[in-house]
Amino acid sequence: MSWLIVAPFEAAPMDLARIETLRKRHDPNQAIIPAHVTLVFPFTPQDPEAVRAHFEAVAATQVRIRCRLAAYLAIRDAEDRTSHVFMVPDTGRAEIEALHDQLYDGPLSAALRLDIPFIPHVTVAAFDHHDEAEDLVRSLGRVGVAGWLNRLDLLDFSEGRVTPIARVDLLG
């Protein structure tokens, strides 16, 4: 069992279609989960009920986050030799980072991965080689997609599929 917490990325239908088309070409997880910002990296819950209660308590006080994905970024994976292409926000970044910090409090504090820097993002591609990720970033140029995070999802990501555990709509 591997749980994670994400916020689905919402935007105008045309913008989401562009993102999902890019993901369909380059992200093997596109068919498993729609565009999202991962707020808590996969972890094995020691006390599932405490985690769920903490998730719901944090989400219940969180207002929706307006954000703008402003740039593409090629990032090497911390665990293996692969690389990813992220769409990273300028607007909303601080709010996403603050929410990430809140979620890692309490029963999730032991799950905090200090070896992985938290970069708010939507993943659009995964490659075996970093130069492929850099080539894609250069070919894509600039981005400017306005959107929002309206909901938090607590998910079980096991055996190549995602199963919702809890969902909470954000305030506002």
Q: What are phi and psi of 73, to 5 degrees?
A: -140, 130
- Please give the CATH number for the structural domain made up of 3-169: 3.90.1140.10
State both tokens at 115: 């070896």
- Give residue 102's pLDDT band: very low, low, confident or very high (50, 70, 90): very high
Distance, CA of 89 to CA of 104 (rounded, Å): 21
Q: Is residue 78's pLDDT more than 80?
A: no
The confidence score (pLDDT) of residue 1 equals 81
Mean pLDDT across the chain, nearest whole number? 96
Least confident piece of the model among 43-47, 92-96, 98-102, 112-116: 112-116
Domain boundaries in the chain?
3-169
- Give residue 3's pLDDT band: very low, low, confident or very high (50, 70, 90): very high
Task: State whether residue 22 is helix, strand or coil.
Answer: helix
Q: What are phi and psi of 69, to 5 degrees?
A: -75, 115
pLDDT, one tens digit per residue, over 34-45 is 999 999 999 999
Find the angle CA(118)-CA(107)-CA(53) to the nearest 5 degrees: 105
- Which amino acid, one-letter code, is at 88? V
Report CA-CA distances (Å) from 90 to 36, 72, 146, 148: 16, 11, 10, 13
Q: Is residue 118's pLDDT more than 90?
A: yes
pLDDT, one tens digit per residue, over 135-163 is 999 999 888 999 999 999 999 999 889 99
For 12-127, strand residue ranges (E) read 36-43, 65-76, 83-89, 122-127
- Give residue 77's pLDDT band: very low, low, confident or very high (50, 70, 90): confident
Which helix (H) or strand (E) segment holds residue 57: the answer is: helix 48-60
The confidence score (pLDDT) of residue 159 equals 87
